[in-house]
Each structure stands twice: as structure tokens, then as C-alpha cells.
Amino acid sequence: MNQRTVIIHDYAGHPFQVELSRYLASVWKDQGIRVIHAFSSSTHTPQGSLQVTPDDPPNFEVVPLSLGKMIQKYRFVDRFISEKKYGRLLCELCEQRKPEAVLSGNTPTVAQLMLVNWCNRNNARVATWIQDMYGVAAKRVLSKKIPVLGGLAGNYLIHLDGKSYRQSDSVIPITEDFTPLLLKQGVDASKIQPIHNWAPLDEMPQMPRDNDWSQSMKLGDEPRFIYSGTLSVRHNPQLLLDLAIRLDKEKRGRLIVISEGEAADWLAEHSKKLPSLSVLPFQPFSQLPMVLGAADVLLAILEPDAGVFCVPSKILTYLCAGRALLTAIPHDNLAARLIRDLDVGLNTSATESEPFVRMAMELAADNERRQEMGERARQYAEKEFDIAKIGKRFAAELGIPVDQECLAK
């Protein structure tokens, strides 16, 4: 049997995307289909298990795409040039491996359009997996940094995004909230198939509060707040700093921020005068269950005007940990609605710190409430994060249905 190839590309290298690749490889192995999971090794993000292991199916492959240096997110001209070079790397991979179908998510605008164009020229089915509305996000940021010209640049990127969406065989937004924007950009409604994000439940077992990681950090009995993940222009680290100041003043707990980049460096500088605040680099994915399990409350932040184009997927990983959540997210965002409907945490859409800090103190003082929230969170994850059901939907969008006999195994 001639081997067929599918490329699943996740620019960020996050955990649940590679879980999807592993799953599809396992159910397609008897169909002679090789699954290549490609990602950028030149960007700073918390990443999943991106090495082939002895337990992986033989038709599964991981390909890191490197520019030889890290992409500078906040140097916009350099970033644009780097992302165009990255797009060429991605197309070169496709040229070498000749996939019959490609799924691509988290991919910057220019690189994604280059990939879609390659697929169109080579008769490969392409599904664009929309984690963020990149052009909309870029316009917001650039308009603040470079008035007038920034807005024009953002509109250009929105235009390019629209071309990618319209020229894709399938468009997979992570929330129905993106659908009106896609329709406005001229995307055929029949192509739009929302699939909500999830977290790799099997790789995220619920861990005890006191574990090897918490002991290595010398964490005591005080309430523990943990933020783990990206801190970027979509976030407001001042909320975290103000919480640390309050915890320090009242000697009521610890705040641990696990991130990298300019915002993390800014918090690290302040931590020198705040015993309650610790800032750590991204931890190995294998340690993440213990990291999150060490928390009493897990934190997430999203700027108000980012709600339309971004859904923080860290919330879903947090649910696996079985801990209460404290978030500052626009109330109409999918993640905020989930937290409210499930009653797994507290959320404020306010931009100032006072409500966020006040809610933190409420949770710190109510152990029973935190435990009940955590139990509901884990129950939801165990019910909803079924990779077999999710994988079947993605397989259909790639035009390669999953064999029902494979599903039964």
C-alpha cells in the first residue's frame, strides 16, 4: 500500500494539538496514512510532548521548523519578516512530503496564506484552524503603537486572513463567536465548522496539592495562586502584581507566575521586593500536572478588547487540574461563559485590579467553595474532552473519515 500523508501544523506546539495528531495517526495507521505534526521551534510558548516516544504509532512523526533564532514578537517589522521566512519553511515541508491534506492552526497571517496557496496549487485539501483572529488582534495592537499606519497595516492583515479563510476547504473556528466575523469576510457558511478546544485529559491527571513539585518550591499551607502560560499584549500583568502586593501586605498566600517574555521579566523585577511573588520560566510539560495541582486557585487574564478574537485555552487545561479558577476575562467570551455556567470559579470583566484582588481574597478564605469548584471542573473535563469524538470531527474536515472499526478498538 502506498503511504499517504497528512500534515497537522500547530505553530505554537501546544499540548492538545499534538494529542490530536497522535490520535489520528493511531486510527489511520491501518489505512496507510502517515501523520506529520509540524510546529515552530522558534517561538516562546508553553509546549506539549513534541518528541516521538516508543508508545507512538509507527506512522507518527514530529517535525520542528526552525529559523535558527527566536522570533521577536514585539519587534513588528522583524516579526513580519521572520513569519514570511517561516511560511517558506512550511511550504518547503509540504513540497518535500506532498500531503493530501493539511490542518494548520495558530499560524501567523502571512505564513498561513502561503500555506493555503501551496495547497490550492497542489490539489491538497486544507483546513484552517482558527485559534486567534490574527488580523483583528494585530490591528488592535498596531493601532495603539503606530496611529493611522498601524490601523492600515492591521486592515491589510485582516484582508490576508480573509483570503486564507475563503480559499480553505474547511474553516474551523474554536468558538461560534468567530462565525459572524468570518461571514463578514465572505467565507461560505458551509465551510465553517466550529470545534471547541479541549485539553489532553490522559496527559493531565489530577494531582494532589502536596506533590514533588510543590515540595521542591517549599510551598507551605498558605493559599496558593498560580498563573501558568503566555503573558503577552493580550494580558494585563498589573492585575497579578496588585494581587501579589495584597498577598504580601496581608501575609495571606503565595502567587507563582510561570511564563516568559517582557511581562514576566517585569513581574520578576518587582518580585525582588515581594516575598509573596515568584516568577518562573515555563516548566516541562511532564511537570505541568504537578504544577497546576499545587495550586488552590488558577489564574487567567484577557484584555477586554481581545475577547472578540481570542479564547484562552489555558482555561481548559486548568479544568483538568480540578482547581478553582479566578479570571479577568470579558463576560461574553466563551471561556468566561464556561466558568460561569459550570460554576468552577470567579470572573471579572473589569479592567481595574480591585474586583480581581477582592475575588482572590474571597477564594483564599473559603476552602470548601474552592474544593467544590475544583470537583465540578474535573468532572466537566472528564465528560467533554473525549479525543475519539473530537478526532472524528477533525478527520471529517480533512476529508479522511475515521474507520469505525478503528474507533471501536
Q: What share of the chain is helix, strand, coil (3-state, %, to 5)?
A: 50, 15, 35
Sheet strands (E) in 251-378: 254-258, 277-280, 297-301, 324-328, 345-348
Give exposure, 34-66, as e/b (b: 16+ Cβ within 10 Å). bbbbbbbebbbbbbbbbeeeeebbebbbbbebe
* Selected residue with higher pLDDT from 242 and 149: 242
pLDDT at 78 over 90: no
CA distances from 266 to 236, 257, 375 (A): 12, 11, 34
Residues in a beta bridge with 361: none
pLDDT at 139 over 60: yes
Interatomic CA distance for residues 38 and 28, integer angstroms? 18
Picking from 205, 244, 194, 210, the residue whose alpha carbon sits closest to that of residue 360 is 244
Cα 227 to its chain centre, rounded Å, is 14
Torsions phi, psi for 329 (to 5 deg): -135, 140
Give the Cβ contact number of residue 88 at 10 Å. 12
Residues in a beta bridge with 170: 127
> Residue 407's pLDDT band (boundaries 50, 70, 90)?
very low
Picking from 251, 255, 253, the residue whose alpha carbon sits closest to that of residue 239 is 255
Mean pLDDT of the region 193-198? 95
pLDDT at 1 over 50: no
Segment holding 223, helix H or strand E: none
What's the pLDDT at 136? 75
Interatomic CA distance for residues 16 and 21, integer angstroms? 9
Q: Per mean pLDDT, which range of 146-155, 322-331, 354-363, 375-384 is the poorest?
A: 146-155
Quote the pTM value: 0.87
Q: Map out the domains of the chain as residue ranges.
A: 4-198+386-408, 201-383
Mean pLDDT, all residues of the chain = 91
pLDDT at 307 over 80: no
Q: Write down the architecture of domain 201-383 according to CATH.
A: 3-Layer(aba) Sandwich (3.40)
Torsions phi, psi for 345 (to 5 deg): 175, -170
> Residue 402's pLDDT band (boundaries 50, 70, 90)?
confident
The grid cell for 52 is 516521538
What's the pLDDT at 107? 94
4-198+386-408 and 201-383: identical CATH topology: yes
Interatomic CA distance for residues 306 and 58, integer angstroms? 41
Mean pLDDT of the region 23-36? 96
Gyration radius of the chain's alpha carbons = 21
What does the pLDDT look like over 34-60, one tens digit per residue? Answer: 999 999 999 877 788 999 999 999 999
Q: Per mean pLDDT, which range of 73-82, 130-139, 223-232, 364-373 is the poorest?
A: 73-82
Mean pLDDT of the region 197-207? 95
pLDDT at 72 over 90: no
pLDDT at 85 over 80: yes
Angle at 162 between CA 159 and CA 163, to 5 degrees: 90
Give exposure, 383-392, as e/b (b: 16+ Cβ within 10 Å). ebbebeebbb
Q: Per mean pLDDT, which range of 53-57, 97-101, 302-306, 395-399 is the poorest?
A: 302-306
Q: List Cβ neighbours of 103 (8 Å cut-off, separation of 6 or more).
A: 6, 7, 8, 9, 126, 127, 129, 172, 394, 397, 398
What's the pLDDT at 305? 64
Question: Judging by DSSP bridges, how do beta strands 33-40 and 125-130 pair with one another?
Answer: unpaired
The size of the chain, in residues, is 409
What's the pLDDT at 236? 87
Interatomic CA distance for residues 4 and 31, integer angstroms? 9
> Residue 304's pLDDT band (boundaries 50, 70, 90)?
confident
Mean pLDDT of the region 256-270? 94
**Residues above pLDDT 70, as percent of the chain:** 92
Mean pLDDT of the region 380-386? 96
What does the pLDDT look like over 270-295, one tens digit per residue? Answer: 999 999 999 999 999 999 999 999 99
Picking from 218, 208, 387, the residue whose alpha carbon sits closest to that of residue 292 is 208
What's the pLDDT at 267? 95
Our CA dihedral for 134, 139, 142, 146, rounded to 10 degrees, sits at: 160
Superfamily of domain 4-198+386-408: Glycogen Phosphorylase B; (3.40.50.2000)
